[in-house]
Structure 1
Amino acid sequence: MSLRTGPFTAVALAVAGLLLTGCAGAGGEAAPPAAQRSASAAAGTGSAGRPGPKAQIVRPQEIPALGPQTRAKIIPANEQAVVVVGDGPDSNQSVATLYERIPTLGWKAVSEPWPAHNGLRGWTDDHYVADHRSPIGVFGLTDAGGKLPNPGTKLPYDEEELFDAPGTGFEGEPLEGSFDLVVAINYNREPGATPLDWARPLGAEKGGGIWIHVDHGGPTQGCVALQRERMKELLVWLDPAKRPVVVMGDAAALSR
């Protein structure tokens, strides 16, 4: 016996079909189940399978001149860095740039590159007395001083007449005034003492008295020398609360 459907039966079947398939959106597509929507979101795709917006990963900026071995010597507490990059391993010409670590963003240059001098014979990773080379490495900057009054630095500052520089440099230039403003580089010295302190933890043969000081227009015994106005800027900028360091060496050595 065949079943005949009347108008009422046809309407009932249509309603049942809608209940089984769910409501269609404006475009005629059925809305995906909640589990499917969640899976699409996790996969970064839209409801139609198209790629959705991806989260942006911002990597902190690094100091561009430095390689991984050098960067590893800078600890998270160091938030200021004076980066001195030599022209070559045997060159006494270099460039200094100030960098500051900005939270979440990384390192940012806060000065123009400044011309500088370093040791007469360039750089070394095994410095010793009278080799006329500047030591390569990452060293703390904790103490300052000079013949002139404190220009406004937050570092402990020792104003003393003993910061005297008589005589002439390697190129016959007068040295007078070179130690008017200095920052001690913590190579073979006791941090927290005046730059004039003669303590040498590594032994006297490993040298010491390595400073950042006023440029006299020629190569140094092993120090880093900046123009007088740049020295003033440096001293005012340095903040012991930011654990400043100097990162110094020839370009090839620092890029390792």
Structure 2
Amino acid sequence: MRIAGGARRTAAVAVAGLFLLAGCGGASDGARGSSDGAGKKGRHGEAPSGAPATTHLKNIPQLGAAFRARVPAAARQVVAVYGKGADSADATLVLFEKGAKGWDQKGRWAAHNGRRGWTTGHHEGDKRSPVGVFTLTDAGGVLADPGAKLPYTHTSAFTPPSYWAKSTRHDFDHVIAVDYNRVKGTSPLDPTRPEGQSKGGGIWLHLDHGSGTSGCVSISKSGMTSLLRALDPARHPVVVMGDKARLSA
């Protein structure tokens, strides 16, 4: 196990099972063995490549002035999650990096978000993903570190409960914690919610199981591996996430 902030991370692992029940997985559609059927793309399906990757952009595409202003000036890596609609579980995740000539697209993957869509007022159990700009500081998973630059907690404590649907078995093989209502610098398993339990938490980027989540954002295993190897604390990565209409407003 590679650990940053030793004592706190050890404590977090001890309560991992409890956290998984209340956090990212929760009583999800997958846990009940059912689905709303939204956006079935296949577990490891990537978005069609379409036009060549965009390079040397002045701004991140499809972000309005309000969201552009919320991206920290120090951020040199942005994970943009473009939700199809306010009530849709379908999304596209794009990795951008800023160089001397502007923003370059480095990767693009089909994704899913909360099975009920998006919200600007996320609360526990609403099955929606929070809209916003959040830092990315910590990672982990059931599988060994694939070469992450972010601090990575490797432990079987990420394993979903046995009664969850079989399709969710590998959801947390690799995860990246979204810094929504959590303590930065701790394992994604840390259950601490500084803004209170009712505001929800445990929002992660994790592996896709083919449909909407309880609030997290999911992509293919190859996509997660690529993100883990690319995201660098020295480049101050953030995620900008929400439905396209809100992001572009």
Q: Please state which band the TM-score falls in when normalised by the shorter chain.
A: 0.7 to 0.9
Structure 1 pair 177/253, CA: closer, same or farther in 2 (3 Å)?
Answer: same
Where in structure 2 are the equivalents of 1:101-180 lying within 5 Å? Answer: 101-103=98-100, 105-111=101-107, 113-166=108-161, 174-180=167-173
For 1:109, give the aligned amino acid: Q
Structure 1 pair 70/243, CA: closer, same or farther in 2 (3 Å)?
Answer: same
Stretches of structure 2 that go unaligned for 5 or more consecutive residues are 1-55
Q: Give structure 1 regions of 4+ aligned residues with deviation exceeding 4 angstroms.
A: none
Name the CA distance, whole Å, in 2 between partners of 1:207 and 1:215: 21
For 1:188, give the aligned amino acid: N
Structure 1 pair 120/126, CA: closer, same or farther in 2 (3 Å)?
Answer: same
State yes or no: 1:184 paired with 2:177: yes
Of the two structures, which has the highest relative contact order with CA contacts closer than 8 Å and spacing of 6 or more?
Answer: 2
Where in structure 2 are the equivalents of 1:75-94 lying within 5 Å? Answer: 75-94=72-91
Name the CA distance, whole Å, in 2 between partners of 1:70 and 1:135: 14
Where in structure 2 are the equivalents of 1:26-45 lying within 5 Å? Answer: none
- CA deviation after TM superposition for structure 1 residue 164, in Å: 1.1
- CA deviation after TM superposition for structure 1 residue 166, in Å: 3.2
Residue 45 of structure 2: aligned partner = none
Identity %: 49
Name the CA distance, whole Å, in 2 between partners of 1:173 and 1:129: 24
What SS is found at the alignment partner of 1:162? helix
CA RMSD of aligned residues (A): 1.4
What SS is found at the alignment partner of 1:94? strand
TM-score scaled to structure 1, two decimals?
0.73
- The structure whose Rg is larger is 1
Name the CA distance, whole Å, in 2 between partners of 1:73 and 1:179: 29
What SS is found at the alignment partner of 1:236? helix
TM-score scaled to structure 2, two decimals?
0.75
Deviations 1:20-44 (A, max 9, x none): xxxxxxxxxxxxxxxxxxxxxxxxx
Residue 188 of structure 2: aligned partner = 195
Residue 63 of structure 1: aligned partner = 60
